[in-house]
Amino acid sequence: MTTHYTTPAKALHWLMALMLGCLLALGFYMADLPLSPEKIQLFSWHKWAGVTFFALVWLRLFWRATHRPPAYPASMTGLQQMAAHAGHFAMYVLMLAIPVSGWIMSSAKGVQTVWFGVLQLPDLVARDKALGHQLEELHGALAVGLMALVGVHVAAAVYHYRVLKDDVLQRMMPSKAE
């Protein structure tokens, strides 16, 4: 039985953690900027990265479905395991819902999503200013919710490492050999 994640699972985890941090920081930074060429460029980069992130979530879900993750340590109670499953499930739901809400928001605001200026994505809804504003609020609220969950995720990993002194954190660390 394996006690660590595969190298591709680790690479996806850390790449997506880095991307998520950048997407959240950029999203909150650019939201309050006055309309300018810089803001339009930042929105384009945010959308490109968001579409890429969305694709990586699906790749990660595929990898997870086809590669069994390591078992939890025997010291973890059933309640802790249930909480870990629920937390991971909620993060995956939000990592899918946030890009979709952004895509629908762009459609409703009449702003085409074009991935890296090459692949034009279809609008998901007709132009509707009021809906666009509501989706903007939803997109931000979902992002805040994901930030909170990531905070709990990191705190749990540190708790396992510093307090419980088990291998939950180490099995996802890049330095752990397969």
pTM for this one?
A: 0.91
Which one, of 91, 90, 128, 92, lies nearest residue 107 by Cα?
128
Higher pLDDT, 166 or 135: 135
Least confident of 15-19, 111-115, 125-129: 111-115
Domains of the chain and any CATH numbers: 7-172 (1.20.950.20)
Helices 129-159, 78-108: axis angle to 10 degrees equals: 150
Is the separation of the CB atoms in 13 and 157 below 8 Å? no
